[in-house]
């Protein structure tokens, strides 16, 4: 029996509708898979982590299964040599620009700029640290952004400033009270962004090893506990990357800006034993003393200090050892004194009114001293497995990361050749 025509039409209409529906569902699921697949696809990515003041030998001090995992499956340098002075801001800027401080302009944590007639200092909410005019180098986040990549900083000294009119796409003002977990979560949240908004270069920073090293000195067991806690944070990051199937596809670089050495109130040089402090501005005190003598008094001050104390080396700016690469900037003062390892420079008044200082630990000394050296650990597809390399200077890290991210490096003092050995290719 023939079907009535209307019924037939309705049936074929339903068929067509079903066909369209199932076809679009198929298309939609393919598209979603494509999207997910696309999202899972990772461009060459680098996470750069700094553990402030993490000395090269701290790894031996505690149970650190996560750091050990990275070392065993990646590259470790016997030590990372800081630039002079071995202070936080100069070194973080050298890592991120590849330049010596005399070229990137952050010649210390405390500076005076005669052109600006202004002082620079550091710390959360420091106004000058957020002022781009102090920074003369090109941080890697700018190199990346200028060349169409996305950069993100969950803290890095210098990242609080807009430099040359550019900031990382994602960034935060430095706040030491934000927990380690929160910092890691922020990094992960950026990795979870869709592919077109996901950063390829991410930094983060942890200050505890520096804080505790200053407070108790590098040999105190409290430092071991901090190292262990930081290892736990690294473990949490590795687990989160593993869950996302990113662990073997992301490059992780762990660094530190300098090491730490012990101080004593028995090892102190009093500047006012030799010069009248009214005749100078002491821009930075210890262990590298930056002295700006009053007009016409440079020779007098220099001769009064030179050879005055056996544990204090005194230099005119032009005569600083060449290996310091520390002469050619207006922010380097005419007279620079460098204390011997473990010695401090102060005044009688300051010493007597601050009973807690000049004990514990510090850094800033000659960058050749092993105690000032930091760490370099790198893990990921770009790096060799289970390799220990000789100590190298932190200025080479900029070129290394530019190479991994396929970025043209800006003018800098480092060279890829110096660190080529760590690369897998």
**What's 370's DSSP letter?**
G
- The smaller minimum CB distance to Zn ion, of residues 93 and 335, is found at 93
Q: Does 88 bind Zn ion (CB under 5 A)?
A: yes
Distance of closest approach, residue 83 Cβ to ligand AMP, in angstroms: 13
Residues near ligand AMP (CB under 6 A) are: 52, 87-88, 109, 122-124, 126, 129, 155, 157, 160, 174, 176, 207, 210-211
* Calpha distance 338→273 (Å, rounded): 17
- The smaller minimum CB distance to ligand AMP, of residues 302 and 358, is found at 358
* Calpha distance 258→252 (Å, rounded): 19
Distance of closest approach, residue 83 Cβ to Zn ion, in angstroms: 12
Distance of closest approach, residue 135 Cβ to Zn ion, in angstroms: 17
* Calpha distance 319→298 (Å, rounded): 14
- The smaller minimum CB distance to Zn ion, of residues 200 and 344, is found at 344
Binning the chain into helix, strand and coil, the percentages to the nearest 5 are 40, 20, 40
x/- map, 206-235, Zn ion, by CB under 5 A: ----x-------------------------
When CB distances are held under 5 to 8 angstroms depending on the partner's kind, the choice from ligand AMP, Zn ion, none that residue 172 binds is: none
Between the alpha carbon of residue 167 and those of residues 88, 135, 249, 328, the distances in Å are 21, 13, 26, 27
**Which of 138, 145, 208, 257 is close enough to bind Zn ion by CB under 5 A?**
257
Q: Which of 45, 88, 143, 200 is catalytic?
A: 88
Stretch that binds Zn ion, among 10-18, 47-55, 218-226, 246-254 (CB under 5 A): 47-55
Q: State the alpha helices, DSSP H only, in 158-307.
A: 180-191, 208-216, 221-243, 298-305
When CB distances are held under 5 to 8 angstroms depending on the partner's kind, the choice from ligand AMP, Zn ion, none that residue 65 binds is: none
Q: Does 52 bind Zn ion (CB under 5 A)?
A: yes
> Is residue 279 annotated as a catalytic residue, yes or no?
no
Q: How buried is residue 138: exposed, middle or buried, by Cβ count under 10 Å (0-12/13-18/19+)? A: buried
Distance of closest approach, residue 109 Cβ to ligand AMP, in angstroms: 5
Subset of 302-341 contacting Zn ion (CB under 5 A): none
Size (the chain), residues: 425
Q: How buried is residue 364: exposed, middle or buried, by Cβ count under 10 Å (0-12/13-18/19+)? A: buried
* Ramachandran sector of residue 380 (left: φ over 0; alpha: ψ -120 to 50; beta: rest): left
Structure tokens at 130: 């957020």
Distance of closest approach, residue 160 Cβ to ligand AMP, in angstroms: 5
**Which residues are catalytically annotated?**
88
Q: Site residues (CB under 5 A) for Zn ion?
A: 52-53, 88, 210, 257
């Amino acid at each position: 029996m023939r079907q009535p025509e209307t019924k037939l039409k309705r049936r074929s209409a339903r068929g067509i509708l079903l066909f369209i529906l199932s076809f679009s569902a198929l298309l939609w699921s393919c598209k979603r898979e494509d999207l997910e697949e696309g999202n899972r696809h990772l461009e060459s990515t680098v996470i750069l982590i700094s553990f402030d003041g993490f000395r090269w030998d701290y790894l031996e001090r505690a149970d650190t299964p996560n750091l050990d995992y990275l070392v065993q499956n990646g590259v470790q340098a016997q030590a990372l040599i800081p630039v002079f002075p071995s202070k936080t801001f100069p070194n973080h800027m050298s890592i991120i620009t590849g330049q010596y401080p005399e070229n990137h302009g952050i010649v210390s944590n405390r500076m005076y700029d005669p052109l600006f007639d202004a002082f620079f200092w550091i710390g959360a909410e420091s106004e000058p640290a957020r002022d781009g005019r102090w920074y003369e180098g090109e941080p890697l986040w700018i190199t990346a952004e200028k060349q169409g990549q996305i950069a993100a900083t969950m803290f890095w000294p210098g990242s609080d400033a807009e430099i040359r009119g550019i900031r990382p796409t994602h960034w935060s003002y430095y706040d030491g009270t934000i927990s380690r977990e929160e910092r890691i979560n922020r990094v992960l949240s950026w990795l979870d962004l869709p592919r077109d908004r996901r950063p390829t270069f991410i930094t983060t920073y942890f200050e505890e090893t520096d804080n505790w090293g200053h407070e108790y000195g590098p040999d105190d067991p409290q430092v071991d506990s901090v190292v262990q806690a930081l290892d736990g944070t690294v473990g949490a990051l590795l687990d989160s990357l593993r869950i996302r199937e990113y662990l073997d596809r992301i490059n992780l670089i762990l660094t530190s800006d300098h090491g730490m050495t012990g101080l004593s109130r028995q090892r102190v040089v009093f500047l006012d034993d030799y010069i009248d402090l009214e005749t100078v501005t002491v821009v930075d005190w210890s262990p590298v003393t930056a002295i700006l003598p009053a007009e016409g008094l440079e020779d007098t001050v220099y001769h009064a200090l030179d050879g005055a104390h056996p544990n204090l080396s005194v230099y005119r700016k032009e005569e600083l050892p060449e290996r310091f690469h520390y002469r050619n900037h207006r922010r380097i003062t005419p007279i620079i004194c460098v204390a011997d390892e473990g010695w401090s420079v102060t005044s009688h008044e300051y010493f007597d009114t601050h009973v807690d200082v000049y004990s514990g630990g510090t850094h800033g000394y000659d960058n050749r001293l092993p105690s000032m050296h930091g760490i370099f650990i790198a893990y990921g597809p770009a790096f060799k497995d289970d390799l220990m390399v000789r100590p190298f200077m932190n200025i080479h890290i900029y070129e290394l990361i530019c190479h991994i991210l396929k970025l043209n490096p800006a003018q800098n003092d480092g060279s890829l050749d110096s660190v080529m050995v760590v690369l897998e290719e």
